[in-house]
Amino acid sequence: MVALRGRDVDSYLARPDPARPIVLLYGPDAGLVRERADALIASAVDDVNDPFSMVRLDGDDLAAEPSRLVDEAMTVPLFGGRRAIRVKAGSRSFASGVETLAQTPPVDCRVVIEAGELRPDAPLRKACERAKGAVAIACYPDTERDLAKLIDDEFRAASLRLAPDARATLMASLGGDRQASRNEVRKLTLYAHGSREVTLDDVMAVISDASDLKIDPIVDGAFAGNPALVESEFAKAMTAGTYPGVILSAAQRHAASLHKASLAMDEGASASAAAESGFPRLHFSRKGTVETALRNFNATRLRQVIDQLAIAALDTRKNAALAASIAQRALMAIAVNARRRG
């Protein structure tokens, strides 16, 4: 079985094995699938725009004629050189064509197949995992380690430093789609071009302006005890393509700030003063909901909420397919609890 994981994936992508020229990229992170496919194609041909070297095929079309994949892979270019075939898998199976081709892998031709989430028993995945001439690479949402490496690589290339608080905020704003995350980081480095260090203000300016993610109403609604608002705003965020982990990260930061403010209240500060100390950059429009949240939760309960959110965030990493349900359930639980206390 040739299903690459961990460091084996990085090793293969850095130096693709010519004995295994058929590559299946699949998983919920469409951006990572595209990014890896682009890299594999770029290293397989001299010019991706040369129609004699680069062939694009539709998986559903291949399903009607699987042998076409073999014919294309075995075709010798008119002017010689290396070739690549990029296949976009659809809803129909062309696994038989992959199985036939894998029996006699092509020479000087790389076949890159892009797919979405595939069950372990999916014919295409089984065909690539079982064949000696093929590899299957899963593409799941980035972990914190992956995001940290992405940020480090981009900032190193731009010769920029990133302030610790700016890094924490940036990390929490990324995830779910590799290309979207990389694009956000590149926007930030471009914005800060000419500077020596990127600050929190830089991150807030770029990410807030560049993003259509409306996360604040979800988080505020949860801690203020408004389940209906959480449900409606969460649905909008999912429709907009927001990764659930990003919302949970925002909720974790909010809970940590509330905890700091709650400790200030325990020492005698008013809700208003505590809100300002816990949220130094709080917009005036959110001050009322923060004060409501402070009335709903004390410091002890907020520590419990922080633990619950951490568990939910970890679960979304482990179960990407259920990430939305896990995140919504965690936020709704906070909202219901807050309403009871309110």
Give the pLDDT band (50/70/90) at residue 209. Answer: very low
| Per-residue pLDDT tens digits for 73-86 | 998 876 778 899 99
Q: In this structure, are 132 and 8 located in the same domain?
A: yes
Structural domain boundaries enclosing 69: 3-138
Q: In this structure, are 9 and 134 located in the same domain?
A: yes
Q: In this structure, are 112 and 225 located in the same domain?
A: no
At residue 135, what are phi and psi to the nearest 5 degrees?
-135, 150
Q: In this structure, are 220 and 336 located in the same domain?
A: yes
Q: How far is CA 148 from CA 154, 165, 291, 308, in A?
A: 10, 14, 34, 24
Of 189, 210, 231, the one marking the end of a domain is 210
**In Å, how far from its chain's centre is CA 252?**
18
Domain count, the chain: 3
Q: In this structure, are 225 and 328 located in the same domain?
A: yes
CATH number at residue 261: 1.20.272.10
Q: In this structure, are 122 and 78 located in the same domain?
A: yes
Q: In this structure, are 241 and 223 located in the same domain?
A: yes
Q: What is the pLDDT of residue 302?
A: 93
Q: In this structure, are 123 and 23 located in the same domain?
A: yes
Q: In this structure, are 110 and 203 located in the same domain?
A: no
Of 210, 228, 250, the one marking the end of a domain is 210
Give the pTM: 0.61
Q: In this structure, are 236 and 329 located in the same domain?
A: yes
Q: Check the CA dihedral 49-52-54-59 and report its sign.
A: positive
In angstroms, the CA 92 to CA 95 distance is 9
Of 106, 138, 170, the one marking the end of a domain is 138
How confident is the prediction for the chain on average, in pLDDT? 87
Amino acid in position 276: E
Q: In this structure, are 126 and 174 located in the same domain?
A: no
* 213, pLDDT greater than 60: no
CATH number at residue 170: 1.10.8
Paired sense of beta strands 3-4 and 134-138, if any: parallel
Averaged pLDDT, 269-279? 77
120-145: b (≥16 Cβ within 10 Å) or e: eebebbbbbbebebbbbbbbbbbeee
Averaged pLDDT, 178-203? 90
